[in-house]
Amino acid sequence: MTTQLLTGDSWSFRERSPGAQWHPAVTPGCVHTDLLRNKLIPDPFWGRNELDLQWIEERDWEYRLRFEADEALLLEEAVELAADGVDTFATFFLNGREIGRADNMFAAWRWDVKARLRPGPNELRIVFGSAMKYIRANNHRFAVPWEFNDPVGGCVLARKQQSQFGWDWGPRFVTCGVWREIRLEGWSGNRFAHVEISQHHRAPRKGGGGAGGRAVALRLRPEMRRPARRLAYEAVVTLRGSEVAAAGPSALKAGAFEITVPDAELWWPSGLGAQPLHEVTVRALDRDGRVVDAWTRRVGLRTLELVREPDEWGESFKFVVNGTPVFIKGANWIPADSFVAGLDRGRYARDVRAAAAANFNCLRVWGGGIYESEDFYDLCDELGLLVWQDFMFACTLYPSDRAFLKSVEAEARHQVRRLHHRACLALWCGNNELVMTNGPRLRGKLKRGYEELFHKLLPEAVRAHGAGTAYWPTSPWRGDWRHGTGREAGEQRGDTHYWDVWHARHPARDYEKWKFRFVSEFGMQSFCTPKTQATYCPPDDANVFGPSNENHQKNRAGNQIILDYVSRRYRFPKNQAALGYLSQLNQAYAMQIAVEHYRRLMPRCMGALYWQLNDCWPVASWSSIEYTGEWKALHHAARRFYASAAVSAHIIGDEATITGNYRRSTVERVDLYTVYDGPGKKDATLAWEIFHIDGRVLAGGRRKVTLRNGESQRRRSLDPRKLMAAHGRDNLVLRIALEVGGACVGEDSVFLVPPRFIALRRGETRVTVKRGADARHFALTFVSREFQHRFHFDLDGFAHASSDNYFELFPGRAKTVEVTLDRPATAAGVRAALRFGSLVDSYE
């Protein structure tokens, strides 16, 4: 086969209007980034520029590539133009003749161009029609009963990234372009169209060697482009460059053949084992033994199932990998940029590796974005991050006419076949929140159309092409219509989105009221750091409630809700930077309350995916990683509350106010838990101490415990009421810690009142900076005589990654943090760049 890539910077584009000038363009790309590259528009993210760029979505655009076809390509029997992603309504012309049309951003397109391609110069033109013109011309097809995030309306009529039309964390940039690879493919004789690969695990042999001790049969089902009665097939499996299995050449039996990997090394989610990826190569051979074509993919050998079975609480909802139940720890993933075309592996690696570093084992690819790139799934395979994969439908009801269903059928077939072999792929989910947000409207024709799409078409695509991956029709869902989407049902079965905290402004501790089986959305917003704000906010319009920042807050009343939550827990900040810091502490606190509660419920609850990991532009949002890559306080907290071995405290009672705004405490005890979801078992020590804010230790203790996989255990109950009466609850701090092998693996503080009532003390902090293995690695050690809550540091002028931040600095206890810089430095240079503070510095 001969391939000629048509990507790169040799393209041109223009508005499709009389006399419009051609400008340089890049493919993969989109019209917005090409306009920006040519300085024809200002930075879309700066200030309120978004509002001035809405004219782009109303125009038609034209792209052109002039190229010479490779000689080898012209000698092939068949030549096709293949486009992996076209956004969205496009007509293709080769040398002046129309060759095909595209109308679905999520489908792959392929056209025969053998007769149109010629030696010497060729010209490929693509005319992109305005999505908004298409929507207006077709809005008679389906009356959208309710719009949730599209301020103009009609986005559901276009099979196109829904969040381009605006969402409550992202801007409205309805763009167009060739957003994934485009190429010419030439071939002669025959070639693979697809190879389906499924796994069949056999019970481990007694005394079996290898890391797995079990044999895994891979069933391979080749699909050729032309009838292939006289072909034979062979397969080779390699691991780390060494062959571990081979089969064939042989004919197919019932359309398939098998290759068996003995003593297979199994693939595990992060935190439970390694992620070996076997390379499987299938070759088609003619009668003379010559290779007709070859197909290669990386495969992780594992079993993975969604187990829903009756139990003492109702019906389980748990993922089981290689026979081991896995508590799902992670977040929701949105598109990594407002302009997804051309995102490279480095951009994906930044955030996906950050997820793994924070002890995630799962990401949910949310249904209002895109089916992600191969780079994304490669990284998840390599790092052991399971993927809950939504189909691309979110919040609003969709058409169900014949043309729409035909388009979705092609989309689903393509995407399920593309991803079916992925080790990381845990679940296909039909949509995000369509039942939850439209329940009362789902009657009659609308309900029949919904069921046709999400209960027939999509599950059939998964059954036919998904190699056994589970399907779940919507999120949240209880398994059938009669159980609805109410909270009470969520305590018995299915998955839940819980938004009373944030949208309904309930207190963070309301998370503890519900014992859900699996929580796939919950979240709390915060402001981004001053560093990130500086990338979009004019200095004369930097006020957090000013026009620029309001435009970079897409949730209605979001900034006011942040301020409300901050005021409940913290003192009034001394400046805007302090307000941003407090908003991030509040976000981290709320998510910690939720996740620790859900993990304590294990095995009743078997998953927590907070909203959201990442941002698509610089914005105030629910993310734990900012658009610039900065980790918020939440992401550092996630590294702690998602740790395999963790300690947490559950306060029984609360601080309340009564008539007259008088304070009253109902706290009666504090339960200390250990949670463990790592492999095997570990011996550990639980330690605690209650100290006065002046540093005096008033009580404490230690207890040896054994941690076992899948267990949450209450280890000790503390009654603080006598100490509260004697010393005042505003003066007490509880330190809890978990030690394994003499090292502290988890540590935190517990307050019996909101920290705004605690008279924290400002103390001198001693800092030691020590160079590590090279001039980019340093160890920072902090020591203070005073307790410093959520101590944080930064290094001016350096991009850096750190092993911890926004942590507790307890009196007299040294805290060492490993730091990796973006460029070499000296210890003196690092010390000079160091800036730090803690909660007390936000208001004094």
In whole angstroms, what separates CA 192 from the centre of its chain? 32
How far apart CA 618 and CA 552 sit, in angstroms, is: 7
Task: Kindly state the tokens that stand for 269.
Answer: 């989610």
488 CB contacts (<8 Å, ≥6 apart)? none
Number of H helices, E strands in the chain: 18, 50
Type of residue at 392: M
Residue 844: other Cβ atoms inside 10 A: 12
How far apart CA 719 and CA 426 sit, in angstroms, is: 43
Rounded to the nearest 5°, which phi and psi values hold at 225? -75, -25
How far apart CA 350 and CA 347 sit, in angstroms, is: 6
Give kind and range of the element (H or E) at residue 833: helix 827-833
Q: What is the DSSP secondary structure assignment for residue 266, as one 8-state letter?
A: P
Question: How do strand 362-365 and strand 386-390 relate by DSSP bridges?
Answer: parallel
The alpha-helical segments, DSSP class H, found in 145-211 are none
Can you point out the beta strands (E) in 225-300? 232-239, 242-250, 257-264, 278-285, 291-299
Active site residue 433: yes
Rounded to the nearest 5°, which phi and psi values hold at 364? -100, 115
CA distances from 222 to 22, 232, 281, 370 (A): 45, 11, 12, 28
Rounded to the nearest 5°, which phi and psi values hold at 446? -65, -40
Residue 703: other Cβ atoms inside 10 A: 13
How far apart CA 591 and CA 38 sit, in angstroms, is: 43
Q: Is 658 exposed, middle or buried (0-12, 13-18, 19+ CB in 10 A)?
A: exposed
What residues form DSSP beta bridges with 664? Answer: 656
What residues form DSSP beta bridges with 817? Answer: 780
What residues form DSSP beta bridges with 657? Answer: 663
CA distances from 686 to 287, 700, 707, 748 (A): 69, 11, 11, 12
Is 787 in contact with 770 (CB distance < 8 Å)? Answer: no
CA distances from 551 to 354, 558, 559, 577 (A): 28, 11, 11, 19
Catalytic hit among 62, 411, 433, 786: 433
In whole angstroms, what separates CA 492 from the centre of its chain? 26
In whole angstroms, what separates CA 420 from the centre of its chain? 19
How far apart CA 112 and CA 80 sit, in angstroms, is: 4
How far apart CA 109 and CA 402 sit, in angstroms, is: 20
CA distances from 749 to 647, 688, 693, 723, 736 (A): 11, 10, 12, 16, 6
SS3 assignment, position 404: helix
Q: How far apart are the first and last CA of the chain?
A: 70
Give the catalytic positions in this structure. Answer: 433
